[in-house]
Structure 1
Amino acid sequence: MNRNDRSIVGLVMVAHAMVHTYELSIPILVTIWLDRFGVGASTMGLVVSAGYALFGLGALPGGVLADAYGSRRLIVACLAGMGGSFALLSLAPGVPVVAAALVLWGAAASVYHPSGLSLISKGVSRQGTAFAYHGMAGNLGIALGPLATAVLLLFADWRLVVLLLAAPAALAVVFALAVDVDETAAVEDSAGVDGTADGDESVADGGDPAADGESDGDARAGGSVSSLPELVADSRALFSGAFVLVFGVVMFSGLYYRGVLTFLPELLANQPLFDPVTLGGRAIQPSRYLYAGLLVIGIGGQYVGGRLTDRIPVEYGIAGAFATLAVVALLYLPALRAGLGAILAASAVLGFALFVVQPLYQAAVAQYTPPGTRGLSYGFTYLGVFGVGALGAGIAGFVLDLFSPTALFAVLAGFALVAAAFGAVLSVRRPA
């Protein structure tokens, strides 16, 4: 990687880790709010859902803003908004302010993925490696955020814990403002403006690079959307091509992701192998540690997935990875009943495969969209992953209530097979 690549990767790694740290700290805090504020689970569920809904729904306008004003500005706003929301949360006297703070968090966090991924796709020459490191940082936040929150709560009141969690965002804002990046370096290199790109070739070849605007770090993209008719026109253009297949991949990826992770802790806790144990007078839940370990293994999956995008066609990687997830879904329950060794192995494979797909579809978005609407493209992508994908939790709960865990994993296998089929169609359409 060259200096600009390293600067961009450092910036997006910090921001991505913080987004998921905050995202996964909220469920830990919910158990406290239920007791402190004297509300029911349904009320608190609606409050939390409002924040999470905006996390997905805000991705599309976030993508439009990233194209119009530059990715770094959006990342700075994201970090400042998340830190401010948690500072407000520490002062919450009741549920209405908690709701307001979580809505603010969701709105701020929603702009990160389209802006961060657009920045990688247009500014980094070795994009596969960058996607890998980016994903690994996100997984660190996913795994370590809840753990850090739980540990801090052993020593401090929840309000102080939330305020402490807000502090790193302020430091990250200072770093984001100070780091020097060229947001369109990879586009310029591929167009021959600054010579040959350093390292592997860029995958961002979906359109006319020369139309992407200036090279200034916070440059307004030449293809940015400035009106509703332009948004409609650009969206229609995106979905009239192969991007519609990529969007299908990300939707079913999101359904699988939310569907399996939402109820997996409960399914594990119901197994006799993971009955609570008492240690030092405290009840330890082994299933929670297995769940956390599964997410940590996902770091390796993110890295391998990113490296694969530099070595094989992403279409083949998508088809193969989702076919693997379908097999894992079908074998997971039999493994759960086969003993500790089998369930540890199956969980490790699930964690690895669940996250290996993310750099693959992120690179596919860059490959099948023009640079001038890259932010809009990633906005649609994360609308699909987190917005449409959020339905996976509801579908999973519905299936578990009416049928059985076996039926749930069959449905999950179906999601993965549909995504694999989209990948297979993409591979057939792929230019020779």
Structure 2
Amino acid sequence: MHSKSVVTLLNVAHAVDHMFLLIFAAAVGTIARDFGFSRWEDLMPYGVGAFILFGVGSMPAGRLGDLWGRRSMMVVFFFGIGAAAILAALSTGPWQLAGALTLIGAFASIYHPVGIPMLLQQAARPGATIGLNGLVGNLGIAVSAVLTGFLVQWLGWRAAFALPGAVAIVLGFVFMRVVPHESEAPAKRKRGQVVPLTRAQLARVLGVMTVAAATGSMLFNLTTNGNAQLLNERFHGVMEDPATLGLLLGAVYAIASLAQIVVGGLIDRVALKPLYLGITLAQVPMLLLASHAQGWWLYAALLGTMVFVFGAIPFTETVIARYVDDHMRSRVAGMRLAVSLGLSSLALWLLGPLVKGVGFDTLLLVLAGIALCTSATVLWLPSEDAPMVPVPSR
């Protein structure tokens, strides 16, 4: 078991991961004006490289985590993402910013296939552990919305990248000092205990979870990257102060993040399939309401949407922890993330053009359809009362 200080740093790293990925989305309106764009939607595609690398980079990151060591990769994560954010602050044009954002995505890709398996090593209650980790990670999204809003208003958008970047580098030094060196890489360790499945059963489970994670990631990326501009549009005439809107959006994320604690606890006690299905289905009416609502009604629908979007996050990591042994967990997580996040990043590239072309009303209806696709995919998960054939020992 890890010490409390190590667990704390690994959880904080999750918050850093999500926070840095969303600084651009929270500040895009101000950056667009500074770079001479007439509309924020025209600048948004320049951020797609971050999310492509966030997905594609997960595969080599997971492989290095298993074969080289997870502690070493987490040190690279802290220093790399901090330096990339400082480069973004120094950008003088959209293509320089796009390059820096792509670097942020490349280093951000390390956390999920490396940090979460490191956190789950010998965890007695993986569901609760993942739930708490998800809470802290999504609090990073809340902090990004609030902190970026205030920094943009007080110090400018460059400070919104530079100051968090400096903090990440400091955390890297703390991580090196606090976290002990690994005695051996995970790939060289003795195999532990997992729920036994045949190769066909395991392939089915991982296939379903990859597809469900892809559609779920589309929903997550399009909402978290579009919510700031959605609030700006739907609160026009009600409230237009960027710092206050940032606080409102931060409150949505902070409250919605608590859903992961609840879901994480439930995963350890109830059947996974019906719980996952119920949460994905609940996303649909919230998105349908949000597509037509304005002002405070929109805010209520947005809060409901994000509660169920965040509530769905712990399931994929739980499946990997339950069925995949630790010695290869980072590689499996990396492959799954490379496919699911790589596909979902393409949706982010379409965010600006979609909003510009059809508006948020239609976009939210499309998101409701994506939520239904996730639910349909979850139906293919095997029932947990089905007989499981043990995997032959090696």
1:239 and 1:64, CA in 2 relative to 1: closer, same or farther beyond 3 A?
Answer: farther
Match of 1:251 among 211, 214, 224: 214
Map residues 127-166 of structure 1 onto 2, 5 A cutoff: 127-156=126-155, 158-159=157-158, 162-166=161-165
Map residues 349-388 of structure 1 onto 2, 5 A cutoff: 349-388=304-343
How far, CA to CA, are the matches of 2:131 and 2:208 in structure 1?
22
What's the Cα RMSD here? 3.4
Deviation at residue 259 of structure 1 after TM alignment = 3.4
- Residue of structure 2 in register with 1:296 after alignment: 254
* Structure 2 counterpart SS, 1:425: coil
* Structure 2 counterpart SS, 1:125: coil
Map residues 114-125 of structure 1 onto 2, 5 A cutoff: 114-125=113-124
Letter matched to residue 84 of structure 1: A
- Residue of structure 2 in register with 1:89 after alignment: 88
- Residue of structure 2 in register with 1:416 after alignment: 371
Greater shift, 49-58 or 173-182, is seen at 173-182
CA contact (8 A) 1:61 1:379 kept: yes
Deviation at residue 54 of structure 1 after TM alignment = 1.2
How far, CA to CA, are the matches of 1:166 and 1:361 in structure 2?
29
Map residues 323-402 of structure 1 onto 2, 5 A cutoff: 323-333=281-291, 336=293, 340=296, 342-393=297-348
How far, CA to CA, are the matches of 1:332 and 1:44 in structure 2?
25
Q: TM-score, normalised by structure 1?
A: 0.75
CA contact (8 A) 1:329 1:410 kept: yes
Deviation at residue 37 of structure 1 after TM alignment = 4.5
CA contact (8 A) 1:277 1:285 kept: no
CA contact (8 A) 1:316 1:427 kept: no
Q: Equivalent pairs: percent with the same residue?
A: 25
CA contact (8 A) 1:71 1:116 kept: yes
How far, CA to CA, are the matches of 1:395 and 1:158 in structure 2?
23
Map residues 10-409 of structure 1 onto 2, 5 A cutoff: 10-38=8-36, 44-95=43-94, 97-156=96-155, 158-159=157-158, 162-180=161-179, 216-217=182-183, 219-222=185-188, 240-271=203-234, 274-277=236-239, 283=241, 289-333=247-291, 336=293, 340=296, 342-393=297-348, 407-409=362-364
CA contact (8 A) 1:71 1:218 kept: no
1:123 and 1:155, CA in 2 relative to 1: closer, same or farther beyond 3 A?
Answer: same
Greater shift, 130-139 or 143-152, is seen at 143-152
Letter matched to residue 325 of structure 1: Q
CA contact (8 A) 1:74 1:115 kept: yes
Greater RCO between the two (CA within 8 Å, min separation 6)? 2
Letter matched to residue 124 of structure 1: A
Deviation at residue 290 of structure 1 after TM alignment = 3.8
* Structure 2 counterpart SS, 1:221: helix
Deviation at residue 169 of structure 1 after TM alignment = 1.2
Q: TM-score, normalised by structure 2?
A: 0.82
Letter matched to residue 88 of structure 1: L
CA contact (8 A) 2:130 2:317 kept: yes
**Gapped runs of 5+ residues in structure 1?**
183-215, 225-235
Aligned length in residues: 378
Greater shift, 316-325 or 252-261, is seen at 252-261
CA contact (8 A) 1:30 1:44 kept: yes
Deviation at residue 78 of structure 1 after TM alignment = 0.6
How far, CA to CA, are the matches of 1:220 and 1:90 in structure 2?
36
**Gapped runs of 5+ residues in structure 2?**
191-198, 388-394
How far, CA to CA, are the matches of 1:139 and 1:153 in structure 2?
21
Deviation at residue 431 of structure 1 after TM alignment = 3.9
* Cα deviation code 1:359-395 (max 9, x no counterpart): 1222012223333321122113322443212233456
1:171 and 1:324, CA in 2 relative to 1: closer, same or farther beyond 3 A?
Answer: same
Higher Cα radius of gyration: 1
How far, CA to CA, are the matches of 2:90 and 2:290 in structure 1?
43
CA contact (8 A) 2:67 2:186 kept: yes
Letter matched to residue 9 of structure 2: L
Deviation at residue 140 of structure 1 after TM alignment = 1.5
Greater shift, 86-95 or 253-262, is seen at 86-95
How far, CA to CA, are the matches of 2:179 and 2:271 in structure 1?
32
How far, CA to CA, are the matches of 2:370 and 2:204 in structure 1?
22
* Structure 2 counterpart SS, 1:426: coil
